[in-house]
């Protein structure tokens, strides 16, 4: 996997969605991953490469289990994060 990995949290609307779309349109070197509480569960999202279809990955930043599941699946499949935009805080 050679693409740099760009992650933006809270990408279903507002500022996060704008960042996601801006980067996707202009920075083809990045594999851009957006998250939302209502997204696809991380195991399926990463194992089936759902990010390539514009889907969002499930992540609730207030829930430790959700945060662990997201980063574990990302680490196991892509193995890297080059840019993390903590839009939700
Ligand atoms: N809009 C402004 O003028 C402005 C100005 C200064 C700073 N900010 C800051 O910029 C950030 C985004 O603002 P916004 O106006 O774009 O907000 P928004 O429209 O309310 O969008 C928030 C995003 O965060 C997600 N989200 C909410 N709670 C979450 C949680 N617990 N875990 C994971 N994702 C969660 C939402 O997705 P789901 O509901 O799908 O999970 C949504 O995609 C905020 O931190 C805000 O304080 C905004």
Check pocket membership of 19 for ligand 1, CB cut-off 6 A.
no
CATH number at residue 18: 3.40.50.720
Statement: residue 2 has pLDDT above 80: no
Predicted TM-score (pTM) of the model is 0.93
| Distance between CA atoms of residues 20 and 60, nearest Å | 17
Statement: residue 76 has pLDDT above 80: yes
Total domain count, the chain: 1
**Residue 66 belongs to what domain range?**
4-85
Looking at 1-89, list the stretches that DSSP marks H as alpha helix, in order from N- to C-terminal side.
14-26, 42-47, 64-77
What is the distance in A from the centroid of ligand 1 to the CA of 78? 26
| Distance between CA atoms of residues 60 and 77, nearest Å | 20
What is the distance in A from the centroid of ligand 1 to the CA of 86? 10
Check pocket membership of 57 for ligand 1, CB cut-off 6 A.
no
Reported as a single tens digit per residue, the pLDDT across 48-68 is 999 889 899 999 999 999 999
Check pocket membership of 54 for ligand 1, CB cut-off 6 A.
no
């Amino acid at each position: 996997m050679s693409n740099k990995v760009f992650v933006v949290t809270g990408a279903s609307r507002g500022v996060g969605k704008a960042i996601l779309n801006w980067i996707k349109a202009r920075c083809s070197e990045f594999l851009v991953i957006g998250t939302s509480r209502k997204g696809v569960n991380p195991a399926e999202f990463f194992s089936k490469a759902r990010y390539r279809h514009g889907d969002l990955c499930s992540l609730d930043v207030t829930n430790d289990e959700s945060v662990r599941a997201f980063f574990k699946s990302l680490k196991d499949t892509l193995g890297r994060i080059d840019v993390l935009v903590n839009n939700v805080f």
